[in-house]
């Protein structure tokens, strides 16, 4: 692949399971299973999540304990390791550094751009601090401005602007509603197909 290519990957749903779905299963709060696959408005989704956590008196340590028991998706580490031998890879995610550390360790510490949480002294999550509005798209645009060719892959509504801003975008195992809304992006159903699509786009 062209070494002047940067591959930008979403995290949840592409390399690891959806963190909030795992939190919903562990806590029994079904409403926390809603993700950006269901709700395109990320701020609305986060405000709903934080309200549910506050009502259940769940704090950062509770979520971190759940994430500590999670593992990458089957084949994700191998896919990522192979990709990083040929091109630069950046993970662009709407998760939070306070959640992601165990998963980054299991993926071999790839570069991760994401958000931060506001946590009080008692460990309650009071809010969140986005890195930038639409940070995935803006990261891709910045990389292209540095004269890199960018190939992006994601699975949800919140990945669409990132995919559109890249030289080439690929949907990875998207839900039907996402695939229908963005038919301009090819769909990969497994890591072999995703790698093939990235190779074809990287040149």
Q: What is the CATH number of the domain that holds 137?
A: 3.40.50.1000
Catalytic residue IDs: 10, 12
**Does residue 171 lie in a domain region?**
yes
DSSP strand pairing (111-119 vs 125-129): antiparallel
Structural domain contains residue 181: yes
Report if residue 107 sits inside a domain: yes
Rounded CA-CA distance 101/139 in Å is 21
**Which range marks the domain in which residue 108 is found?**
5-16+73-115+132-202
What tokens appear for 60 in the block?
Answer: 């950062």
User: What Cα–Cα distance (Å) separates residue 199 from each residue in 46, 82, 89, 115, 202?
Assistant: 35, 12, 13, 29, 5
Residue 139 lies inside a defined structural domain of this protein: yes
User: Which string of DSSP letters, residue by residue, matches 66-100?
Assistant: HHHT--PPTTHHHHHHHHHTTSEEEEEEEEEHHHH
In a domain, 109, yes or no: yes
Whether the model clears a pTM of 0.85, i.e. scores above it, the answer is yes
pLDDT tens for each residue of 132-167: 889 999 999 999 999 999 999 999 999 999 999 999
Which residues make Cβ contacts (< 8 Å) with residue 171, sequence separation at least 6? Answer: 153, 154, 155, 159, 163, 178, 179, 182, 185, 186, 187, 188
Distance CA 101, CA 142 (A): 25
User: How many separate domains does the chain show?
Assistant: 1
Asked if residue 110 is part of any domain, the answer here is yes
The answer to whether position 80 is within a domain reads yes
Q: What is the pLDDT of residues 34-92, one digit of tens each?
A: 988 888 888 899 999 999 999 999 999 999 999 999 999 999 999 999 999 999 999 99
Q: Is 147 a member of any domain?
A: yes
């Amino acid at each position: 692949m062209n070494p002047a290519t940067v591959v930008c990957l979403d995290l949840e749903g592409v390399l690891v399971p959806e963190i909030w779905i795992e939190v919903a299963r562990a806590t029994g709060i079904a409403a926390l299973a809603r993700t950006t696959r269901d709700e395109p408005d990320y701020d609305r989704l986060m405000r709903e999540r934080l309200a549910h956590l506050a009502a259940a008196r769940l704090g950062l340590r509770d979520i971190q304990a759940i994430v500590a028991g999670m593992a990458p998706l089957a084949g994700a580490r191998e896919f990522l390791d192979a990709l990083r031998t040929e091109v630069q890879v950046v993970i662009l995610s709407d998760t939070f550094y306070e959640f992601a550390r165990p998963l980054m360790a299991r993926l071999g510490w790839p570069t991760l751009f994401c958000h931060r949480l506001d946590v009080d002294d008692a460990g309650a999550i009071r809010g969140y601090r986005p890195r930038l509005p639409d940070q995935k798209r803006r990261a891709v645009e910045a990389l292209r401005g540095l004269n890199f060719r960018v190939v992006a892959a994601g699975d949800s509504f919140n990945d669409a602007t990132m995919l559109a801003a890249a030289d080439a975008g690929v949907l990875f195992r998207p839900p039907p509603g996402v695939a229908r809304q963005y038919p301009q992006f090819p769909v990969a159903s497994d890591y072999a197909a995703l790698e093939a699509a990235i190779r074809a786009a990287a040149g």
